[in-house]
Amino acid sequence: MVAELRGALIGCGFFAVNQMHAWRDIAGAAIVAICDRDPERLKVVGDQFGIVRRYVDAAALFASESLDFVDIATTAPSHLPLVEMAAQNRVPAICQKPFAPSLADAKAMVKACSDAGVALMVHENFRWQSPIQAVRAVLDSGDIGTPFFGRISFRSAYDVFSGQPYLATGKRFIIEDLGIHSLDIARFLLGDVSTITTRTARINPKIAGEDVATMLMDHKSGATSVVDCSYATKLAIEPFPQTLVEIDGSDGTIRLEQNYRLSVTGRNGTAVSDVSPPLLPWASRPWHNIQESVVAIQKHWVDCLANGTEPATSGADNLRTLALVEAAYAGAASGEPVQLDALL
Ligand code: NAD
Ligand code: 89Y
């Protein structure tokens, strides 16, 4: 029998609870220690998941534990020091999104892990949602031919501030927090981007950052996409946290619509299917779509460590998604299109 990988979780906040549930579902890895600088969060998560080895200081965690990986679930400002600490201790690391507050920090993390010869994966989980994987599978089947247009859309009025109050206070909001997933999905479905043009707005007067963003992208493949996201869109049926997708190809179309309805028109006519994610035993609606993707990406990490392969959302890959975020903010400020290659 292959020994279980010994992991530690750093950051026991709002979202980390999903990661802890997911680790319990995954064979081949277990969380043996946890760390949070807030003793209350350490106790809540430690008690809930029966983890006795607890640390308020990440340096003490690395000094005392023998680890096969660390799962960093803190917010972005702490990612650089924590990933660098993992690299210094030769421990492979998963790092939550947004990878970093700046592309320079992200590049430093990629370099630190590469120099240390340890794997680094960004927990960019939205592309692992089963409805998004279903869209990718249709593209791979060739049924709609060559894609020339895409729309990745996330529009909602869900109150994300009650669970994540820090989202209301930062100068940057929707592109960095949520649009980052949509931009990554656009890359996943249509490939890398050469140019992005962005418009933003703040509709909710109680928050500091932008809550609406519309981005037009030129993909290197020749396809054009629109990535639009909003937390100021009040709809008859609240779709949170569904990403809707439209792709037009030379031979047909894909539509991922509300309620996980997938409609594919291809060479052989139209097929409609329900691609709803399963409701895992520990999951709760409407978060179950995201929760299932957490299991999928963490399984992928375990497979990559076992096989020595690079994660799909490695640190190096995620530089291209984070560059889109930086370019979107720069373009929103200037009103001009921004070239991506100059940033990378
Ligand atoms: P949170 O503030 O609830 O939790 C973060 C925790 O990290 C806190 O308990 C804090 O005390 C701890 N922490 C911060 N710095 C630390 C350090 N240096 N050492 C030890 N502990 C430290 O935040 P959250 O809402 O759980 O979000 C965490 C991250 O997860 C964010 O980057 C957020 O964008 C991301 N997130 C991802 C998804 C997703 O689907 N991938 C969903 C929600 C949130
Ligand atoms: O933080 C965000 C994320 O990554 O997914 C949804 C979210 O929790 C709120 O926008």
What residues contact residue 13 under an 8 Å CB cut-off, 6+ apart?
36, 41, 73, 74, 75
**Would you place residue 3 in the very low, low, confident or very high pLDDT band (cuts 50, 70, 90)?**
confident
CA angle in degrees (0–180, nearest 5) for 50-51-52: 110
Instruction: Evaluate: CB of 252 within 6 angstroms of ligand 1.
Output: no
If you measure from the C-alpha of residue 142 to the centroid of ligand 2, how many angstroms do you get, rounded to a whole number? Answer: 32
pLDDT at 1 over 70: no
Express each pLDDT in 281-335 by its tens digit.
Answer: 999 999 999 999 999 999 999 999 999 999 999 999 999 999 999 999 999 999 9
**Would you place residue 235 in the very low, low, confident or very high pLDDT band (cuts 50, 70, 90)?**
very high
Q: First and final CA of the chain: distance in angstroms?
A: 43
**Tokens 């980390």 sit at which residue?**
16
Top mutation candidate among 14, 126, 160, 180 for ligand 2, by most atoms within 8 Å of CB: 160
Q: Which ligand is nearest to the CA of 123?
A: 1
Domains and CATH numbers, the chain: 5-118 (3.40.50.720), 127-286+321-343 (3.30.360.10)
pLDDT at 22 over 90: yes
The total of other beta-carbon atoms located within 10 Å of residue 257's CB is 15
> Buried b vs exposed e over 297-310: b needs ≥16 C-beta within 10 Å?
bbbbbbebbeeeee
Q: What is the Cα–Cα distance from 216 to 223, expressed in whole angstroms?
A: 11
